[in-house]
A and B are shown apart, each in its own frame.
Chain A
């Protein structure tokens, strides 16, 4: 038994995991020995953390109830620990040989963790436990797979949509029930929704809309913008995807693909239209995301690309705000990109070296069941990554736009961060390139060429390292 546990701790393969599961089942000690406690690390706090706590509590109660009914059954009890910067701390814990039994990560981190041997390969344990692709929305399940193996199961999914402030639309003379459909329309709306305080030549001040390129910067003060591609600054590396671009094809870095160049020429146009210095000052006035001074909630930005969670923040910090959401616009010459969205998901993983992998798998099985996920996603105000949702879940959901987000997740045009172990590095490169482009310090061609060169060498380096460790025929 000890050997088996040791093998699983050191990720010695699927067979040992299964053997351990079977051995545990055969040798289940009596309940007199007390519960089997597992440690679960999660990043979420606040209402999202409370939703996870409810899932944990329900699971624990079910286990205790089972122990009551079956005297020889040792119940599993999950101890939830909230951990900030979980991605870094989890690695340190794994390296130190003291990881939690189960942990919450995001799909974009999985390839790096898998490549570094930080996670248990769950392909066979999932087959054994009956957790399979058909249970989930395909895009979210596929993001849990890398190099032909399954490393995680999705819990809370993300899709992005254009959120817009209907009051500001009405004030600008736009139909508050109609979102822009194409990028060109988005640009036109954004210009109309941009407002300035202007010092008039004869004294006094007036309010004017548009980009006012004819008015010197010293005589105008920006009050409100229609749209800013850099706000929030969370998906700066993904704009190419909204124009049909890819950042990685196989092991070839394609940052400079025509679609990506087009996308960043478009994002840069906002700096050209509004003025770099003006934007810097304007953005400095934005408050924290989770506050009433949030750029979108305070009405400083009329349209924003945001995730399914935005509804919660509207309810909390700007109750009564008139808002709506729609699929993010596509270029008018690319109607095939309609209903596109960037997607990712929170996932549950079992770290290498976990002391109770089979108990962790039991909890994972419950947490990703329809019941567990509906409990979680209702509390977190998200849709579930399950292939089907119960009518009760849909009825009880408070987000009036939840079906839109689910449809975006199901959309064939949904795209995700490239699955590579160097995504963090790639993401940082894209942010730095975006910065330089937004400040008009570099053209998209120059900035993305540098990204491409640097990241191609990073991808090649990672590939070399991977092959050094796992030589292929």
Chain B
């Protein structure tokens, strides 16, 4: 290594140091600790005791792991699909040239700024089976609405519907993507006699595919980490009949109610591996459909 290269290396490391300290303290250390503690009986209050793979063996025989995983998969799939659909539709509408566009964009983005806790409390009222606004609206249509949050058949659906409330962020990203679609492609398609739907399917969506892919990946990561809604709306029980016991809620109960940090760390490691695998699979599968070349 030449003196110049050495100097550059030192300078490079110096500039990287704040980031290295940050990632080391707040990311690397907790991750490594979680992996180590997942092999221990650890209640936080007493020193950890190494127990080998006992936590992992229990994890594979714990029916609540499978139950919570299933609930989470259903929620993540439903919420990602619905949020993507809503954000795409809103972005298409807000990409048109109408008066007061800025106002509409603000209005549709605003709900995503609401804290999840406040949103959860609000939706508890909206979904109230007896006097909720949603059932009142359904009654106008002649539909006898269910007791959303008290019925295991509808509780997860209610939370999936609630997820659309936070579509504002995804909408803004899609909107930015839409404005990046070359107008020349649309003009060429129009000259060729393409309808609106033809252009949407053959021009807009392929050009938006990297943006949609990004939203789906972020949505799935967020969906697998769903916690606050279920914590607030079911008082951490995952009721009714554990239909809203999501993976992270189960992890929280194990860690902070039962004080089984070792087992909770094993659950966290499992979640990390699941999200990592899903992202990898999605990246591989979607590679054929995503258009990066413009």
Binding site for B on A (CB under 8 A): 88, 91-92, 94-95, 112, 116-118, 277, 280-285, 352, 422, 424-425, 428, 431-432, 435-436, 439, 441, 454, 461, 465, 468-469
Contact = CB atoms under 8 A, between A and B. Distances in A.
Given A94-B45, A465-B41, A469-B46, A435 B256 contact: no
> What 4 pairs across the A-B complex have the smallest Cβ distances?
A285-B130, A284-B129, A280-B147, A284-B130
Given A91-B45, A431-B237, A280 B258 contact: no
A352 B44 CA distance: 13
A118 B258 CA distance: 13
Contact of B45 (A95, A422, A431, A432): A95
B45 A280 contact: no
A193 to B, nearest CB: 20
Given A280-B151, A284-B129, A431-B239, A425 B257 contact: yes
A376 B153 CA distance: 46
Given A280-B129, A284-B128, A285-B131, A91 B241 contact: no
A118 B58 CA distance: 25
Contacts of A284: 128-132, 147, 149-150
A118 B253 contact: no
Nearest to A461: B58
B150 A116 contact: no
Contact of B257 (A92, A428, A465): A428
18 contacts: A88-B257, A91-B44, A91-B256, A91-B259, A116-B45, A118-B45, A280-B146, A280-B147, A280-B151, A283-B150, A284-B131, A284-B147, A284-B149, A285-B131, A425-B258, A428-B253, A431-B237, A435-B240
Contact of A116 (B43, B129, B130): B43
A281 B129 contact: yes
Most chain B beta-carbon contacts within 10 A, residue among A94, A439, A454: A439
A432 B150 contact: no
Contacts of A277: 147
Nearest to A441: B241
A36 B155 CA distance: 52
B49 interface: yes
A422 B43 CA distance: 13
Interface in B101-154: 128-132, 146-147, 149-152
B72 to A, nearest CB: 17
A280 B41 CA distance: 41
Nearest to B258: A425
B240 A439 contact: yes
A282 B237 contact: no
A454 B61 CA distance: 11
A25 B63 CA distance: 56
Interface string B245-271: 000000001001111000000000000
B45 A117 contact: yes
B151 A428 contact: no
B241 A436 contact: yes
B150 A280 contact: yes
Contacts of B46: 116-117, 469
B241 A439 contact: yes
Given A112-B259, A352-B45, 5 more contacts: A88-B256, A116-B259, A118-B45, A435-B239, A468-B49
B242 interface: yes
A399 B214 CA distance: 62
Contacts of B242: 432, 435
Contacts of A92: 44
A326 B149 CA distance: 34
A427 to B, nearest CB: 9
Contact of A439 (B128, B129, B152): B152
Most chain A beta-carbon contacts within 10 A, residue among B44, B45, B128, B239: B45
Contacts of A91: 44-45, 256, 259
